[in-house]
Amino acid sequence: MTRPKDTEAIRRGFNILSMVSRAPLSIKDVHGKLEQSGIHVSKRTIEKDLKRLPEEFPQMIEVDDSSKPYTFRQPKNARKYSGMSPEEAVCLELAYTYLNPLLPNTSLNDIKPYLKEAEAVLSEHASTKMRRWKDKVETINEGFQLKQAKIKEGILENIHKSIWDGRTIIAKYKSARSPRPKDYLLHPAGIVNRGRICYLICSFDERPNVTYLPLHRFYKINIVQEQPSRHINSKVTDLTKNLLGFKVENKNINIKLKFSKIAGFHLYETPISNSQKISQSKDGYIIVEDSVANNSELRWWIRAFGDDVEVIKPIVLRNEFKKISQRMAKLYE
């Protein structure tokens, strides 16, 4: 076998240093991991690498020669090698904080060493400004905030695994109208994290239509390995169009709303859509027109403005709000 080039030896050494942790690795283990990453050399070459690396990088790798075969691991209090910059460390920590509910559980073990490294980078090398950046930013959802719905232990992990493998599940699920949970065979398609509630997008085995089920109403999940989900190749974004808005009908409606100047001004800055038409009436009100999904969320949004908005069109929606206002008036008599 020809002697490897210096650049190949350096690349191989960096790969070995990056895979070492406190868990002991044998020469066979290291050789196998390098093979998986596309680095094909003999075990003898790896032996030479592992003889040299602890001598040159004692702070990153040590040898346990108390018994054979020898094993290699990180020294105590050492941190995992990487070329992560403070900026990358901040990005990784923030991304993990906000994306954690959407990450497949199969990836979490692979990510943990990098999160540990990010923490170490920020504590050891970053400036004070960079370290405290996480304390200076936050995402807050609009509206009155309720507490996050609690998902029972093991549910999210098993649903992640079923989606990852494209398998069906037998779920013990309790709907809001049912007095007790029942068993259902479901075809998972994906997960949607929607503020305080996380939903499984799926379909029942006996029904073709796609639906959404809140994860906090699941009691148990069994994965059916021998039966693939019918949505294994589906994109969840294609399946969820208007699905989670509690739609009234499939087609859009053309709305015309009359806002007080204070309540409607934000629509100049944050319009309903690119097709929105906005103008000001002679008596100082803001008139907004647009084509929108006909769903419950539209109604909740309008109701939140109280008497600062009037539904002009369509007449069906106007009559709905007329009845709502009459019922509310009776409540407060």
Which residue in the block uniquely carries the two structure tokens 């992990």? 157
Side-chain-facing half-sphere of 181: CA atoms under 13 Å: 12
What's the confidence (pLDDT) of residue 122? 77
What's the confidence (pLDDT) of residue 1? 42
Q: Do 255 and 313 contact (CB within 8 A), yes or no?
A: yes
Splitting the chain (333 residues) into consecutive groups of 10 residues, what average pLDDT does each group show? 66 85 87 85 91 88 88 76 72 78 62 75 68 76 77 91 93 92 95 85 91 94 95 88 66 95 94 95 95 90 94 96 94 90
pLDDT tens-digit map of 181-216: 999 999 999 998 887 888 999 999 988 889 999 999
Neighbours of 75 (CB within 10 A): 14
Tokens of 134: 């996480």
Q: Which residues of 123-140 are buried (b: 16+ CB within 10 A; e: fewer)?
A: eeebeeebbebeeeeeee
- Following DSSP, what letter does each residue of 220-256 receive, concatenated? EEEEEEEEE-TTTT--HHHH-TTTTTTBS-SS-EEEE
C-alpha to C-alpha distance for 97 and 93, rounded to whole angstroms: 6
Tokens of 28: 């066979």
What's the confidence (pLDDT) of residue 242? 64
Q: 3-class DSSP state for residue 84?
A: coil
What's the confidence (pLDDT) of residue 2? 47
Mean pLDDT of the chain: 85
C-alpha to C-alpha distance for 318 and 323, rounded to whole angstroms: 9
What's the confidence (pLDDT) of residue 225? 93
**CB-neighbour burial class of residue 15 (10 A; exposed 0-12, middle 13-18, buried 19+):** middle
C-alpha to C-alpha distance for 95 and 112, rounded to whole angstroms: 13
Tokens of 330: 């009776």
Q: What is the CA radius of gyration of the chain?
A: 29
Q: Backbone dihedral region of 91: left (phi > 0), alpha (psi from -120 to 50 degrees) or beta?
A: alpha
What's the confidence (pLDDT) of residue 303? 94
Q: 3-class DSSP state for residue 56?
A: helix
pLDDT tens-digit map of 82-99: 567 777 888 888 888 777
What's the confidence (pLDDT) of residue 298? 92
Q: Do 34 and 22 contact (CB within 8 A), yes or no?
A: no
C-alpha to C-alpha distance for 239 and 203, rounded to whole angstroms: 11
